[in-house]
């Protein structure tokens, strides 16, 4: 054996060491030491990014949900502060829903992790720090106090503020306007009953002048109400995909089916869907089209068109599958 080793050693010393199983060279020993040091280094955990959003969240609709969806994309957790009835009354007038109802509706949105009641109307750095939030997120519309002060001026000055795109064409005031003015042009009828607009049509919406008492109030992209601007909302396949989980039922899942109009989605709807989901593993929700709803409700119902109602339902934390055609 020693003769074999000596013969190989006379050739290449490195090969001899490998054949005889002798210890590693200085280079290989250093490599092992470096590898050991690398594996022993502690893993640095990524800091959780906490995002603060706040508002009235009265008559919660898919515009609110879309804002929170965009906020969630900017961090890991979304904490939503909700103003009290008293604060809203002071700065805007009395809310339609109570603070308890508004809290429950916001808790039911799938992108919300925590809800805080009693958020100050003017967002402060103290409230961000209290809930360990890195920054505040709001839509690109301006909100003011009763005195005309920007409610986000403090967090903006501290560079702890980010904006997301406001969902055009829907607001609480807009929905109230549809009810009071009995507008009907938000319906999807005829060939458009099941249609989902193409993305490029959004930029081609024709602007129309608003005259006093016009039935276009709340629908016209150029319309201005005494309280807020209103613009046309065109639902798209992309928006529905963004709101949907897109998960199919498993082979052995117990599937539950419910159907309805789900117009102006509210706490009663949310309670109903939660209870329906408890009856099985997978919930499918069918939504009636606008002409079908109008045939048994009359007047200018539904207040929200088919795809606005679809988005409102899909924003729920209750895991849902949506079905559009329901002519029952």
For 201-220, write each residue's pLDDT tens digit. 333 333 333 333 333 333 33
Higher pLDDT, residue 133 or 32 = 133
Kindly indicate the confidence band of residue 237, based on its pLDDT and cuts at 50, 70 and 90. low
Share the mean pLDDT of the chain: 76
Half-sphere exposure (Cβ direction) of 317: Cα atoms closer than 13 Å: 15
Q: Provide the β-strand partners of residue 82.
A: 55, 117
**Looking at the predicted structure, is the pLDDT value of residue 233 above 60?**
no
Of these ranges, 57-66, 156-165, 234-243, the one predicted with the greatest mean pLDDT is 156-165
Is the predicted pLDDT of residue 228 greater than 60, yes or no?
no
In terms of DSSP bridges, do strands 282-287 and 135-139 run parallel, antiparallel, or are they unpaired?
unpaired
Q: State residue 297 phi and psi, 5-degree precision.
A: -105, -30
Chain centre to alpha carbon of residue 160: 20
Could you give the CA distance from residue 208 to residue 215 in angstroms, rounded to a whole number? 12
The pLDDT assigned to 182 comes to: 76
Each residue of 271-296: pLDDT tens digit? 999 999 999 999 999 999 999 999 99
Are 262 and 81 spatial neighbours (Cβ–Cβ below 8 Å)? no
Q: How far is 314 from 111, CA to CA, in rounded Å? A: 11
Kindly report the CATH number that applies to the domain delimited by 172-323.
3.40.50
Length of the chain: 328
**What is the predicted pLDDT for the residue at 77?**
97
Taking 50 as the threshold, does the pLDDT of residue 79 lie above it? yes
Q: Answer yes or no: is pLDDT of 13 > 60.
A: no
DSSP classification of residue 66? H
CATH of 50-164, one of 3.40.50.620, 2.40.160.10, 3.40.50.1010, 3.40.50.300: 3.40.50.620
Whether 309 and 263 have beta carbons less than 8 Å apart is answered as yes
Q: Ramachandran region of residue 47, left (φ > 0), alpha (ψ -120 to 50) or beta?
A: beta
Q: Residue 178: what pLDDT? A: 82
- Span 243-251, average pLDDT: 80
**Residue 148 Rama label (left phi>0; alpha psi -120 to 50; beta):** left
Q: Model-level pTM? A: 0.69
At residue 174, the pLDDT reads 80
Positions of CATH 3.40.50.620 in the chain: 50-164
Mapped onto helix, strand or coil, the DSSP state of residue 79 is strand
């Amino acid at each position: 054996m020693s003769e074999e080793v000596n013969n190989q050693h006379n050739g290449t010393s490195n090969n001899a060491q490998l054949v005889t199983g002798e210890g590693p060279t200085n280079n290989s020993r250093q490599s092992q030491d470096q590898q050991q040091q690398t594996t022993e280094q502690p893993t640095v955990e990524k800091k959780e990014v906490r995002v603060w959003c706040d508002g009235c969240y009265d008559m919660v609709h898919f515009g609110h949900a879309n804002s929170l969806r965009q906020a969630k994309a900017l961090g890991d957790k979304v904490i939503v502060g909700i103003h009290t009835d008293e604060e809203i009354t002071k700065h805007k007038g009395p809310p339609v829903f109570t603070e308890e109802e508004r809290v429950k509706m916001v808790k039911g949105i799938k992108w919300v992790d925590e809800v805080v009641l009693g958020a100050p109307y003017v967002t402060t750095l103290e409230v961000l720090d209290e809930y360990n939030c890195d920054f505040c997120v709001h839509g690109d519309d301006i909100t003011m106090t009763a005195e005309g002060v920007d409610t986000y001026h403090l967090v903006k000055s501290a560079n702890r503020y980010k904006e997301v795109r406001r969902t055009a064409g829907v607001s609480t005031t807009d929905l109230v306007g549809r009810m009071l003015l009995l507008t009907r042009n938000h319906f999807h009828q005829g060939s458009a009953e099941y249609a989902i607009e193409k993305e490029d049509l959004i930029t081609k919406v024709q602007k129309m002048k608003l005259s006093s008492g016009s039935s276009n109030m709340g629908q016209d992209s150029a319309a201005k109400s005494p309280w807020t601007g209103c613009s046309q909302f065109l639902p798209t396949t992309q928006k529905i995909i963004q709101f949907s989980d897109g998960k199919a039922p498993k082979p052995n899942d117990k599937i539950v089916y419910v159907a309805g109009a789900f117009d102006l989605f509210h706490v009663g709807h949310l309670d109903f869907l939660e209870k329906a989901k408890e009856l099985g593993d997978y919930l499918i929700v069918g939504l009636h089209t606008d002409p079908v709803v109008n045939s048994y409700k009359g007047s200018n119902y539904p207040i929200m068109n088919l795809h606005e109602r679809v988005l409102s339902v899909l924003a729920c934390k209750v895991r849902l599958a949506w079905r559009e055609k329901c002519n029952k």
